[in-house]
Amino acid sequence: MPRLKTVLLLTCGTLAGIAGTVALLTRDVEITSWKMIWNSVSGSPGPRAETATVKQHLSVPAGWQIGLYADAVPEARVLRLTEAGDLLVSQPRLGQITLLGRDANGDGRPDSQSVLMSGLDRPHGVEVSGGFLYVGETGAVGRAPFDVQSGRITGDYTHVITGLPEGGNHWSRSVRIGPDGWLYVHVGSSCNSCIEDHLWRATLLRARPDGSELAVYASGLRNSVGFDWTPWSDELFATDNGRDLLGDDFPPCELNRIVQGGFYGWPFVNGFNVLDPDNGAGHESALQTALPPAHGFHAHNAPLGIRFLRHQQEPALARSALVALHGSWNRSKADGYTVVRLDWAADGTISEAPFISGFEKAGTVIGRPVDIAESPAGELFVSDDYAGAVYRLWRGEAESASTTVAAAPAKPALSPDPLADISATDIAAATARAEPLLARFACAGCHAPGTPMADKLLSLSERYTVGTLSAYFITPRPPMPVYPLSEEDRRALSIHLLSRAAQSSSGSPANSAPTPASKAS
């Protein structure tokens, strides 16, 4: 495992993809995976999730099954399930919120996929409350009127909170409406370890839903991406990522019970109130004032989303939560990359057990879980920003005694005809625009007729609509390059490709020109 022997100037913001505070380090630094670092820096995707991979690698407890719900959701982060059954997914690096349409036909896949909002500034947190859709952008929190039943934005999007500190390591802003009706906003630290200048850094803020009466609710929280309230007592718990570069096993990542006015130690103390070697000197009083964690996760496991279970029939899950462990980069051996179950005993003691495992094996990572959602029927959904996927879990017997994992059924056509609303004139215009693009980018080099890459075009309508295929061109699956396509170009290519697929499936002659989208399969 590579070791960096410092003296080294490390730009803290580099680990989050943004230039930030420069810290002088004089320690040995263990690196789990340079690929994980690059993933954190650039958002570079991992291997795309496939049904066979899910079935082969991911394991869940007996009595549960897991399948691939959506496999083309690049950078999938926060999940929010609406009362209508639609699943909202934030995609910060794409600047958008995607809506996965409710699974009305019961095939284990969303019935549609569309971009609900775009052009946002790294949208991360998503919340639906009081007729509004709330979005946590890096520097602001905004909301728009939202009709749950139709899944549509019905009015202007406006910022209700502005001036959140930008830049630095931790750019994500999580938002939730609490049981008290107030809006909670997470703001992470700007660095790995430093004393902040901005009072809102490393805090949980609280405001009225319209953004008024904004104030710090709790502080000393280095990066509390996930938070939720216990359904049995309305207590607030938040995950927190411990600092890096202090060795494999220190400090632990944390689960904190959040109280108003509480201080949780960062940057002066770590974990269960151990003085920080860089910032602790002169702040020894923090050892007495900092509230210790309610539970400690393994160091560098990076706990993100937490979801208390509210709709499970099993009595053993009546006081349980699931936590997504995003996984380590700063360890000599990979750790995390799981979803764990936390159980609260009557005396408040918390125990931890695996719930979904298999995202990492022998140092090879195929996924990084981020967030969890739960439906009123007890189904669970888990996002994965590395594979660009959303997984679905449901109650049921395994397919065989050898595995507790099952894949969702094969996805049928999203629509009997994805071009039903496209006129013949528009199809002809799309073809006229698309074919010069195919020639310009020399697509024939990879998509010769009769090859598997070209043959997969025949099933495009089973996996894409015009809208979802257009969106795919923004972040295509490697090795397909990102082409400099305008919105009109992407739409023309999508219509042309789907038209060709329809002609082929009907037995009509189809243009045999190879196309870039066959690599989208």
pLDDT digits (tens, 9 = 90+) for 297-307: 999 999 999 99
Query: Hey, is 493 helix, strand or coil?
Result: helix
What's the pLDDT score for residue 1? 36
Q: Are residues 92 and 141 in the same domain?
A: yes
Q: Are residues 270 and 129 in the same domain?
A: yes
Q: Which residues contact 319 (CB under 8 A, 6 or more apart)?
A: 230, 232, 343, 344, 345
What's the pLDDT score for residue 455? 62
Query: Hey, is 306 helix, strand or coil?
Result: strand
Give the highest mean pLDDT range of 275-289, 397-411, 457-471: 275-289
Q: Are residues 390 and 460 in the same domain?
A: no
Please report whether residue 189 resides in a domain: yes
E-assigned strand segments in 17-138:
22-25, 28-30, 64-70, 79-81, 87-91, 96-100, 113-117, 125-129, 132-136
What's the pLDDT score for residue 35? 57
Convert 441-464 to b/e letters by CB count within 10 Å (16 or more is b): bebeebbeeeeebbebbbebbbbb
> For residue 507, is pLDDT > 70?
no
Residue 243 to residue 278: CA distance in whole angstroms: 11
Residue 318 to residue 343: CA distance in whole angstroms: 9
Place of tokens 């070209």: 454
What's the pLDDT score for residue 464? 75
What's the pLDDT score for residue 198? 97
Q: Are residues 384 and 429 in the same domain?
A: no
Amino acid at site 94: L
Q: Are residues 281 and 335 in the same domain?
A: yes
What's the pLDDT score for residue 61? 96
* Residue 145 region by backbone torsions, left for phi larger than 0, else alpha for psi between -120 and 50, else beta: beta
Phi first, then psi, for residue 367 (nearest 5°) are: -165, 155
Residue 173 to residue 161: CA distance in whole angstroms: 12
Residue 496 to residue 86: CA distance in whole angstroms: 29
Q: Are residues 125 and 162 in the same domain?
A: yes
The number of beta carbons lying within 10 Å of the beta carbon of residue 4 is 13
Please report whether residue 127 resides in a domain: yes
> For residue 258, is pLDDT > 60?
yes
Whole domain around residue 134: which residue ranges? 51-395
What's the pLDDT score for residue 38? 53
Better-predicted residue by pLDDT, 322 or 452: 322
Sign of CA dihedral 45, 47, 53, 57: negative
Domain boundary among 380, 395, 410: 395
Q: Are residues 349 and 242 in the same domain?
A: yes
- What's the average model confidence in pLDDT over 145-161? 97
Q: Are residues 55 and 178 in the same domain?
A: yes
Q: Which residues contact 105 (CB under 8 A, 6 or more apart)?
A: 111
What's the pLDDT score for residue 392? 97
Q: Are residues 182 and 285 in the same domain?
A: yes
Q: Are residues 387 and 438 in the same domain?
A: no
- What's the average model confidence in pLDDT over 219-246? 97
When pLDDT is cut at 50, 70 and 90, the band that residue 458 belongs to is confident
Quote the mean pLDDT of the chain.
84
Contact 114, 120 (CB under 8 A): no
Please report whether residue 512 resides in a domain: yes
Please report whether residue 410 resides in a domain: no
Tens digit of pLDDT for each residue in 133-146? Answer: 999 999 999 999 99
Please report whether residue 37 resides in a domain: no
E-assigned strand segments in 12-86:
22-25, 28-30, 64-70, 79-81
Better-predicted residue by pLDDT, 116 or 450: 116
Please report whether residue 30 resides in a domain: no
When pLDDT is cut at 50, 70 and 90, the band that residue 443 belongs to is confident
- What's the average model confidence in pLDDT over 494-510? 75
When pLDDT is cut at 50, 70 and 90, the band that residue 14 belongs to is very low
* Mean pLDDT lowest among 233-242, 339-348, 484-493: 484-493
- What's the average model confidence in pLDDT over 385-411? 65
> What predicted TM-score, i.e. pTM, was given to this entire model?
0.72
Q: Are residues 390 and 437 in the same domain?
A: no
Place of tokens 């996760």: 297
What's the pLDDT score for residue 273? 92
Give the total number of structural domains in the chain.
2
Residue 521 to residue 517: CA distance in whole angstroms: 8
What's the pLDDT score for residue 416? 60
- What's the average model confidence in pLDDT over 388-399? 85
What's the pLDDT score for residue 487? 80
Please report whether residue 414 resides in a domain: no
What's the pLDDT score for residue 415? 45
Tens digit of pLDDT for each residue in 24-43? Answer: 334 444 444 555 555 555 55
Domain boundary among 395, 412, 444: 395
* Mean pLDDT lowest among 65-79, 136-150, 253-267, 403-417: 403-417
What's the pLDDT score for residue 53? 85
E-assigned strand segments in 326-431:
338-344, 350-356, 360-361, 364-365, 369-374, 380-384, 389-395
Question: What is the DSSP secondary structure assignment for residue 189, as one 8-state letter?
Answer: -
> For residue 413, is pLDDT > 50?
no
**Rounded percentage of the chain residues whose pLDDT exceeds 70:** 79
Q: Are residues 456 and 380 in the same domain?
A: no
Please report whether residue 480 resides in a domain: yes
Better-predicted residue by pLDDT, 314 or 475: 314
* Residue 467 region by backbone torsions, left for phi larger than 0, else alpha for psi between -120 and 50, else beta: alpha
